[in-house]
C-alpha cells in the first residue's frame, strides 16, 4: 500500500500477518527492517480480546502516519486506526487499555484506536455500527461505509459518511441500500454500489453523492450484476473512482456470454467543471486568464515535509469551514481548455482556440513540495500565476467563456462564468455578466461517417463494419445501431456499440445468424450532438444493409 501523499509504503506478507513500514521519498528504505506482526491482542471493542493474524481489509490514508485495518475474528468486527510506526517493542502501534478515551476525550487517540465496530455487546464509545467495506478518504479524516443500523434516520440502510476525527456522522445514510464503495478521488463526491435487494442483484446500480449532503445522491447507471447467473465474489460490482471523481469504473458480466465472465466498464458521474476566476487584461490583445476548477475546497496538507499538524492525534489543521488547510486541490484529469467567444450575449458561441494543460510534481520555487499540481510558464498555478490565452479582436463588445476537456474526451457540459469585454484600442473594460452554468452552447450537428461498408466473417452472424471518419475536431465517438428487420432507429434499444474517435471499424459478433440486417454509424461530438439522417425516401449515406451470404 502506498500512502496518499506518495511518500510511504506499507509492504505486507502474503498471509497479511506481517507488515514492513517503508519510505519512498525523499530517501527510499525500510523503516522497520524486521517488520512486525499484526497478530496483536486488540479489544475490548467489536470482539473479545483475542489475537488475530489476518485483516479482512487494510487502507493507507493521508501521509501514512496511520493505517486502517479490520481484523478477522469473533462474531463482531471492528475497524481500527493504527500507528504505522509506533512505540511498541516490535516497532508497531502500542496497544493497551489506556489508549481508549471516554466519549468526551476528543483527541486522545493513542496508537491503536477503534474507529468503529458493531453495535453488539462491545460497541465502540461513539455508538457507530458495523461498516461494510469501509473506505477512508484521501485525507484519512473521514470514511464512506454501508450503515447497517436498522434505526438510522431518516433514509434507512444505505451508504453514509463518518467523520473519524470528530466522531460524528456528516450523513447517517443516503438510503437506497449499499454494498461496495470508493473514495480515492480528490473530490467531495463519493461512489457506491447498491448491492442486493429482495430480488437479488436485479436492481444493483452505482450511486454518486456528496459526502456532506444527505440529499445529493443520484443514480449513475444500472450494472446488471450477475445477469448471467454469476456466483463468484468477483462478479459483484466494486466501483473505482477516477482522480477527479468525474468517472467511475465497475465490472459486470452482462455483455459476456457466460456467468462470472466480467468485463470493466466506465460511467460518467458528473461532467468536468469549467475553469473559474476568469479575468482579462490588455497585452497586445485581449489576455484571458483563469484558474483550473476544483472538486473540493479541502486543502492538501501533505504537500510539504514541514506540514503543520495538531498536537494531538496527528490530524490536519482545519479552517473555520471545517476544511483542511493546505495546497489547493485543482483538477488533475484535464487535458486542455477550450476558449469560446461570441459577439452576442448567450448565443452564437464559437471556439476560438484551445490550450493544453500542464502539470508537474517538482517546483523550482518550492523543492520541498511533493504534489501533482497544474503549472503555467513552468511555475505552479495560483491566484498570482493564472493560466492565460491571447486573443486578437477588433474594437467592440465581446463575450468570453471557457470549458475543460479531460484526457478521456469528456468535456464540461456548461460554460464557465461569462465575461463581457469592451475593447477600445488598448483600453479594456470587463465584467461578469452571467455565472457559470449555460448549457446547450454548441448545438451544431456533426458530420456523419461516410463509405460505410462491411465484410462478412466466416462465422455466421458476424460482420466487420468499416467507415471513413469525417474531418471534425469536435467529434468524440461513434454510435453503431443495428436491426435485423429494417433501418434501425437511433435509440438505446438499437445501439449495439459506441467506439472512440480514431477507430473506423467494428466487429459485430452477435448479429442474426439466419437473416441479413441493417446498420447505421453516427458521429457524436463532445457536447452530445449526434449526426442526423436523410429524411428522403433514399437511404442516408451512413445506412448499411448487409446480407448473410
Q: For residue 400, which of 356, 443, 353, 455 has the smallest C-alpha distance? A: 353
Q: Would 276-294+330-434 and 450-546 be classified into the same CATH topology?
A: yes
Write out residues in the chain with pLDDT < 50, as ranges.
Answer: 46-48, 75, 101-107, 118-121, 126-127, 534-539
Query: How confident is the model at residue 392, as a pLDDT?
Result: 95
What's the gap between Cα 487 and its chain centre?
A: 38
Query: How confident is the model at residue 158, as a pLDDT?
Result: 85
Query: How confident is the model at residue 194, as a pLDDT?
Result: 92
- Determine whether 240 is exposed, middle or buried from the number of CB atoms within 10 Å of its CB (0-12, 13-18, 19+): middle
Backbone angles phi, psi at 235, to 5 degrees: -80, -5
Query: How confident is the model at residue 44, as a pLDDT?
Result: 57
Look up residue 458 and give its three cell numbers.
466466416
Give 276-294+330-434's CATH code, choosing from 2.60.40.10, 1.10.1060.10, 1.10.10.60, 3.40.50.300: 2.60.40.10
Task: List the domain boundaries for the chain.
Answer: 276-294+330-434, 450-546
Contacts of 234 (CB under 8 A, 6+ apart): 251, 260, 262
d(CA 250, CA 246): 14
The separation between the first and the last C-alpha atoms of the chain, rounded to the nearest angstrom, is: 56
Q: For residue 388, which of 62, 215, 379, 412 has the smallest C-alpha distance? A: 379
d(CA 416, CA 123): 49
Query: How confident is the model at residue 154, as a pLDDT?
Result: 66
Residue with cell 461496495: 180
Look up residue 397 and give its three cell numbers.
463588445
What single DSSP character describes residue 385? B
Measure Cα distances from 183 to 188, 504, 543, 546 in Å. 9, 36, 44, 47
Length of the chain: 549
Q: Which fold has domain 450-546?
A: Immunoglobulin-like (2.60.40)
Amino acid at each position: 500500500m502506498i500512502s496518499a501523499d506518495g511518500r510511504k509504503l506499507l509492504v505486507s506478507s502474503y498471509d497479511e500477518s506481517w507488515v514492513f513500514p517503508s519510505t519512498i521519498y525523499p530517501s527510499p528504505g525500510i523503516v522497520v527492517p524486521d517488520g512486525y506482526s499484526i497478530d496483536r491482542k486488540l479489544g475490548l471493542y467489536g470482539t473479545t480480546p483475542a489475537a488475530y493474524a489476518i485483516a479482512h481489509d487494510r487502507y493507507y490514508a493521508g501521509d501514512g502516519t496511520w493505517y486502517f485495518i479490520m481484523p478477522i475474528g469473533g462474531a463482531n468486527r471492528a475497524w481500527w486506526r493504527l500507528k504505522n510506526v509506533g512505540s511498541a517493542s516490535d516497532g508497531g502501534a502500542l496497544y493497551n487499555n489506556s489508549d481508549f478515551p471516554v466519549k468526551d476525550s476528543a483527541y486522545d487517540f493513542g496508537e491503536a484506536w477503534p474507529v468503529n465496530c458493531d453495535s453488539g455487546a462491545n460497541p465502540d464509545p461513539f455508538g457507530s455500527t458495523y461498516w461494510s467495506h469501509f473506505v477512508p478518504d484521501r485525507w484519512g479524516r473521514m470514511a464512506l461505509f454501508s450503515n447497517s443500523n436498522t434505526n438510522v434516520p431518516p433514509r434507512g440502510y444505505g451508504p453514509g459518511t463518518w467523520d473519524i476525527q470528530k466522531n460524528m456522522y456528516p450523513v447517517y445514510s443516503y438510503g437506497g441500500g449499499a454494498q461496495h464503495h470508493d473514495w480515492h478521488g480528490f473530490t467531495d463526491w463519493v461512489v457506491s454500489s447498491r448491492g442486493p435487494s429482495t430480488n437479488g442483484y436485479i436492481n444493483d446500480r452505482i450511486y454518486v453523492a456528496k459526502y456532506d449532503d444527505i440529499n445529493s445522491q443520484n443514480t449513475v447507471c444500472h450494472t446488471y450484476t450477475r445477469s448471467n447467473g454469476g456466483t463468484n465474489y468477483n462478479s459483484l460490482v466494486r466501483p473505482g473512482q477516477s482522480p477527479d471523481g468525474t468517472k467511475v469504473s465497475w465490472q459486470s458480466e452482462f455483455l459476456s456470454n457466460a456467468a462470472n465472465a466480467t468485463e470493466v466498464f466506465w460511467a460518467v458521474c458528473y461532467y468536468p467543471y469549467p475553469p473559474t476566476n476568469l479575468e482579462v487584461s490588455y497585452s497586445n490583445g485581449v489576455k484571458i486568464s483563469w484558474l483550473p476548477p476544483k472538486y473540493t475546497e479541502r486543502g492538501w496538507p501533505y504537500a510539504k515535509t514541514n506540514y503543520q499538524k495538531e498536537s494531538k492525534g496527528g490530524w490536519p489543521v482545519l479552517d473555520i469551514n471545517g476544511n483542511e488547510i493546505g495546497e489547493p486541490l485543482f483538477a488533475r484529469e484535464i487535458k486542455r481548455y477550450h476558449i469560446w467567444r461570441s459577439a452576442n450575449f448567450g448565443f452564437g458561441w464559437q471556439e476560438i482556440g484551445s490550450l493544453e494543460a500542464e502539470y508537474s510534481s517538482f517546483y523550482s520555487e518550492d523543492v520541498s513540495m511533493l504534489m501533482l499540481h497544474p503549472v503555467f510558464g513552468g511555475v505552479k498555478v495560483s491566484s498570482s500565476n493564472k493560466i492565460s490565452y491571447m486573443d486578437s479582436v477588433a474594437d467592440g463588445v465581446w463575450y468570453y467563456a471557457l470549458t475543460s476537456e479531460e484526457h478521456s474526451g469528456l468535456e464540461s457540459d456548461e460554460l464557465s462564468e461569462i465575461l463581457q469585454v469592451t475593447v477600445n484600442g488598448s483600453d479594456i473594460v470587463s465584467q461578469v455578466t452571467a455565472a457559470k452554468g449555460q448549457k446547450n452552447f454548441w448545438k451544431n450537428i456533426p458530420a456523419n461517417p461516410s463509405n460505410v461498408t462491411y465484410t462478412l466473417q466466416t462465422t455466421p452472424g458476424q460482420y466487420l463494419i468499416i467507415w471513413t471518419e469525417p474531418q471534425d475536431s469536435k467529434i468524440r465517438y461513434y454510435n453503431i445501431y443495428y436491426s435485423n428487420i429494417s433501418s434501425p432507429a437511433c435509440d438505446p434499444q438499437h445501439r449495439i456499440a459506441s467506439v472512440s474517435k480514431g477507430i473506423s471499424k467494428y466487429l459485430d459478433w452477435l448479429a442474426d445468424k439466419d437473416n441479413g440486417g441493417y446498420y447505421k454509424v453516427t458521429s457524436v461530438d463532445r457536447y452530445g450532438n449526434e449526426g442526423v439522417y436523410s429524411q428522403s425516401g433514399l437511404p442516408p449515406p451512413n445506412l448499411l444493409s448487409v446480407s448473410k451470404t
